[in-house]
Amino acid sequence: MLRLDAVTKTYRVGAFGGRTLTAVDGVSLDLVPGEVVSLIGESGSGKTTVGRMILGLTPVSGGSITLDGAPVRPGKDYYRQVQGVFQDPFSCYNPIFKVDRVLQMIREEYFPGTAGAQWEEKVAESLEAVRLAPALVLGKYPHQLSGGQLQRLLIARALLLGPRFLVADEITSMLDASTRIDVLNLLADLKSRGLGVLFVTHDLSLGNYVSERAVVLHRGRVVESGPTGLVFGNPLHPYTARLLDSVPRLTARWDGVPQEPVPDTPEPSVLVEAEPGHFVRRVPAPELRSVS
């Protein structure tokens, strides 16, 4: 199990670093193999920072991240079990090299003694797992492939290590609609094979489509979490309700009425279990929707 317990990230800001900015505030969640958990929130809510801390790319200011009960130590052993795929597939490739280079770097670092034929077979299996034909992508330059192909190639790169967990940070946001659904179906297929996925997104419809559980972030704090059907079907925090109300509907016209910002939850506040498995941050009684 991959677990975050009260994880916090603060930055020093200002001309001389005299002030602090809390980007992530006491986030707790867990992820098990064979499950997709969506981490949902608007831009600036701290989603990507959470993913970067899991991957060891940003140090943790407080709290803990553990893997099977042991504190994580970023390095080769850890990255064999936890991998990440990021939002922009185009910036992950050097345009002067063929795309094979991102796969070859894995071989040099993790499989230096693997024979050529064995490595080619391993690469072919990984590409086929993400529905890419090796003959159509290997030997090509980045500009010769589509965004969807480049993104799936990065997922194949991660799968070469046989990880148990994947942090997928906004991996569909730069893809067109038809390619987006292919990548989501791919994640569902990988989940069925035992991969645990933290799906970071601002798009509620995608989170609802692909995940069993949802965690909603607002200004760096978890405001609601639980089974996706409960969080989306019976939102108890005003921020979650506001997100759902903002989703365009084909059968309803936008009324053009500006919405008031969601106020911060007063301190002290805690996550309470409103119904089995469904947690919501305690807010003033008039704003808390009753459990249906």
* pLDDT, tens only, 238-289: 889 888 887 766 666 666 555 666 666 555 568 888 889 999 987 545 444 4
What mean pLDDT, rounded, does the chain reach? 86
> Token pair for residue 129?
């797992």
109-135: pLDDT as tens digits: 999 888 889 999 999 988 988 888 999
74-90: pLDDT as tens digits: 999 999 999 999 888 88
Q: Are strands 70-71 and 82-85 parallel, antiparallel or unpaired?
A: unpaired
- Asked whether residue 64 carries a pLDDT value surpassing 80, the answer given is yes
Per-residue DSSP letter, 120: H
The pLDDT value given to residue 253: 65
The pLDDT value given to residue 266: 54
The radius of gyration of the chain from alpha carbons, rounded to an integer in Å, stands at 20
Q: Are strands 213-218 and 221-227 parallel, antiparallel or unpaired?
A: antiparallel
160-163 long-range contacts, Cβ below 8 Å, gap at least 24? 160/103, 160/106, 160/110, 160/122, 160/123, 160/126, 161/79, 161/80, 161/83, 161/106, 161/110, 162/80, 163/79, 163/80, 163/81, 163/82, 163/83, 163/195
Q: How far is CA 207 from the centre of its chain?
A: 10
Q: Are strands 196-201 and 165-169 parallel, antiparallel or unpaired?
A: parallel
Cα distance between residue 193 and residue 27, in whole Å: 28
Q: 118 burial class (0-12, 13-18, 19+ CB within 10 angstroms)?
A: exposed
Cα distance between residue 27 and residue 230, in whole Å: 20
Q: Are strands 36-40 and 196-201 parallel, antiparallel or unpaired?
A: parallel
The pLDDT value given to residue 288: 47
Give 92's contacts (C-beta < 8 A, 6+ positions apart). Answer: 86, 102, 150, 154
Q: What is the mean pLDDT of residues 204-216?
A: 89
180-196: pLDDT as tens digits: 787 888 888 888 889 99
